[in-house]
Amino acid sequence: MQNVLILLLCYTFLYFLRITSFAVDTITPNQSIVDGQELVSSGESFVLGFFSPGNSKKRYLGIWFKNTSPLTIVWVANRKNPLNDSYGHLSIGADGDIVLLDGAESTVWSSKSSRAIKVTIAKLLDSGNLVLMDGSDGNTDNYIWQSFEYPADTLLPGMKLGWDVKTGLHLFLTSWKSADDPSPGNFSYGIGLGGLPQIVILEGSLIKFRSGIWNGVHFNSQNWNPSTAFKANFIVNIDRVSYMYDNGKNTTITRLLLDQNGFVQRYVWNDQTHRWFATYEARKDLCDNYGFCGPNSICKINGMPSLCECITGFIPKSQQDWDAFNWASGCIRKTQLNCTEGDRFLELKGVKLPNLLQFWIYKNMNLNECEVECLKNCSCAAYANSNVSGGAHGCLLWFGDLVDIRIPINEVGGNEVQNLFVRLAASELESIAGRRSKKRKLFIMVLMISLGSGILLLGSIICFVIKKEKNQETPLAGSCDQNVDPELPLFDLVTVIAATDNFSSENKIGEGGFGSVYKGKLAEGQEIAVKRLSKTSKQGPSEFKNEVILVAKLQHRNLVRVLGGCIQGEERMLIYEYMSNKSLDHLIFDPRQSKFLNWRKRLKIIMGIARGLLYLHQDSRVTIIHRDLKTSNILLDSEMNPKIADFGMAHIFEGDQSEAKTKQIAGTYGYMSPEYAINGCFSVKSDVFSFGVIVIEILSGLKIRKFCHPDCHHNLLGHAWILWKDGRPLELMDANLDPSYVSSELLRCMQVGLLCVQKAPVDRPTMSSVIFMLGNEGVTLPQPKEPGFFTAESSNHCTVEAHCCSNAVTFTSMEAR
């Protein structure tokens, strides 16, 4: 027995020694780290350790930024082979490789270096690179293996993408399968070869996006070029093709991410706001989708009335398809080429050059020689110079269809512009020249007439506009900018019509006083929700602009994300991310759907709404009062995460302002606080009252506006308070909930909800206090006072709520919804 105890003590000592003895940023052959321990780079920029992504319980070895929150993973070792428990450990193997072992000492992942050296050291560098070094000769610059050569979904400064011809190494990013699963997904991002290099996003083997051809200075599509804050380094020679970027002297934390949906963004960390901000995005518009307009056409993101138009001299292959906004079939020549009668070239200035499908390259040839070479071959469709650096030109010849041409968003002038020369029949070019001459004469005539009449009309127009602005509703406080936020992406009407199938009734998913909401799907497959204001909408122009300005700037996981806007003629629309589980009221008040909302999901929703409100009230740059918080304005994503929506009634407080008063009360009966509904006074405590109503609704599964006690006349809030006072709080709970499972949490949420709906604003807690009370069971909470609108007792000795059932109290200037 004594020997067994000694043996156990030895094992315990060795285990303790293993988990406590390791260097800060290195692992030597006699050291290891276990789950719960970390390596930290010398400058404390990166951490290597074990983590579980999203809602997964699997364990992975990864690298992440040390000083950003939430956890931002940049590399994963065992992407394809997760650990099922927390018994994994990392060490140096007998062959000198880095090895990840599970609890049974089986190898889960290994660096598998090409050189077998027994004395090695693993080190996490301050660049985020995990390296394996030869420790036998003290030469720490000799990397046997490095994680930068095995990227995941993130590109860091100093990492390379590309090909090494000698070693056959191909470096590219691969997306995660999902937020819960870092195994390789469907999308990849890297350098595509085939004549001249270009950056491509692939879904499997299909091109989804391409940067344009490398022309010796930059990639040909000008809108792809990275910000000047970053230094790009592109190397093309006989041995390798590689791209990397660094921050130069800039110490800003940056990363480039390929997400699970195949979108690429470069992010910058803001130390003041403690958030990531996107400074560059691939596939940010429809024209970024490869071949969106079909062959022999040009995509113009600001084109009207259509995104796509045929190259001059070409016509739609199917006019019927084009009339239905289906451009995939592209265009064909209006007049066929005829080498014997001579062809000429149409110059397209500064376009993204077509993809290299069928092509020739001549490196030592100028543009004039390139034109002659193209004319020699009757199959040559277009030409352009291939290199704009150092006086070199080069010649590119295209054969067959010209695919994926677009007008870049950012123009680049000077010698860096590459123009495309498209071959047309001579007769077609002469016809084009004639039409242009007639149009020019007509334009001059119309211009002269218009100038005369325009001067006369200008004065009256100015007077009309001034008068109209004076008669419009005074803009909401804090919304001094009356224009659409310039950072908000704008969708043209054609795109929205195509996405929603012309606002078909089958796609309608909601309707209110403002108008209707439609589900849609963009050409690249992204699902959207389109809020289309009706012409008689109760949300006027100032309210619409207010919502646009707000949602464009707000970024929080519990606020709905706006993708863009559409303002064209009388149309005013907002395009949001689509929420697959609709709004909270669709679930909580439906007897069948509410059965799927167990207590954990309801608590998650309550906490999410609270965090979103805290951001609006305290953590955003300005204090924002929502003023119309209700269950129908809480949207739920595919993982049941709540997102606050509909900011049309929102009000901004700036500086030290904490409350305001209005004569135009707008909101929803039942959710409005007493001081706002009766006197027009509102503050952050008005939103707290609305939040409390929602909490009581979530707990009970009952609607505030439809509940009336069968024996008394009080409303849902009064009913809840009486049950609380009488010591019968669990009688309020939805029958679908099991109170015996989490009764303490249920009671705490009910008490917090009743504290939020107290009559006096000063008695209600702030949202920071609400989150603290909900998350700390050991804290003693105050007893709630009577709720708002609780005024008298009926003859049945039940507390009466004034506007319950019969809506006895009415409010003038009320715009109830």
Give residue-wise pLDDT tens across range 658-697.
677 776 676 787 899 888 888 888 889 999 999 999 999 9
pTM for the structure as a whole: 0.55
Residue 307 lies in a domain: yes
Residue 589 lies in a domain: yes
Do 268 and 174 belong to one domain? yes
HSE-up (13 A, CA, CB side) for residue 89: 18
Do 807 and 678 belong to one domain? yes
Count other C-beta atoms under 10 Å from residue 535's C-beta.
8
Structure tokens, 688? 């707290």
Label residues 357-392 b or e (16+ Cβ within 10 Å = b): eebbebeebeeeebbebbbeeeebbbbbbbbbeeee
Do 766 and 622 belong to one domain? yes
Give residue-wise pLDDT tens across range 423-435.
998 888 876 655 5
Count structural domains, the chain.
5
**CATH label of the domain that carries residue 565:** 3.30.200.20
Residue 451 lies in a domain: no
Active site annotation includes 628: yes
Give residue-wise pLDDT tens across range 348-405.
988 899 998 888 888 888 889 999 999 988 889 999 988 887 666 789 999 999 999 9
Answer left, alpha or beta for residue 260, where phi above 0 means left and psi between -120 and 50 means alpha: alpha
Instruction: Determine which one of 343, 628, 646, 734 is catalytic.
Output: 628
Share of the chain above pLDDT 90, in %: 31
pLDDT reading at 34 higher than 90: yes
- The CA R_g of the chain, rounded to the nearest whole Å, is 32
Do 355 and 408 belong to one domain? yes
Is cis: bond before 197, omega within 30 of 0? no
Do 22 and 161 belong to one domain? no
Q: Which domain holds residue 259?
A: 156-284
Structure tokens, 393? 């030109």
Residue 130 lies in a domain: yes
Q: 146 or 565: which carries more pLDDT confidence?
A: 146
Helices 739-756/716-725 angle, 10° precision? 120
pLDDT reading at 411 higher than 50: no
Give residue-wise pLDDT tens across range 62-96.
999 998 888 999 999 999 999 999 999 999 988 88
**CATH label of the domain that carries residue 650:** 1.10.510.10
pLDDT reading at 618 higher than 70: yes
Count of H-run helices and E-run strands, the chain: 13, 49
Model pLDDT, residue 261: 87
Do 643 and 750 belong to one domain? yes
Confidence band, pLDDT 50/70/90 cuts, at residue 294 = very high
Do 650 and 785 belong to one domain? yes
* 531 labelled ligand-binding: yes
Do 637 and 571 belong to one domain? no
